[in-house]
Amino acid sequence: MLVKKMIMFLVLLFILTGCVNGDRYTFSGSSENWDVFYVVDVSDGTNQVEDGIVTYTGEDDPPETIEYKLEANLGTSEGTGITIKDGTGSIANGACRGCAVIQEDEEIKVEITWNGQTENLIVTTDK
């Protein structure tokens, strides 16, 4: 399972490598049933591209879909009906120009809801 998580994380990093022209912040965190990896590329201090991956680590079969909420200092990103395939799903994908951007030292709150269960975790950068 750890190998699968690392492969997904590396794939995410390779995908975003071509987009970097500034700072890259890699956030990660775990809860009882989930691992979250979240990458933010910031350029010019006012532009960002973000992409996240959730991986189910629980003992039961992974859910087919989840809901998530990601809360940073500058706002919230939410999604419903996020498809989980082979235990992994994509969250918080987006970009903005001329916006307030996530900072490297932020602690980002993540809430994942599935099959009537909810877990909360914090993702941070490895400094």
pLDDT digits (tens, 9 = 90+) for 72-90: 988 899 999 999 999 999 9
Whole-angstrom Cα Rg for the chain: 14
Q: Is 3 helix (H, G, I), strand (E, B) or coil?
A: helix
What is the per-residue pLDDT for 75?
A: 87
Q: What percent of the chain has pLDDT above 90?
A: 76
What is the per-residue pLDDT for 3?
A: 47
pTM above 0.85, yes or no: no
CB distance 107 to 122 below 8 Å:
yes
Window from 13-27, 39-53, 75-89 with minimum mean pLDDT:
13-27
pLDDT surpassing 50 at residue 113: yes
pLDDT surpassing 60 at residue 54: yes
Place of tokens 């991956």: 53
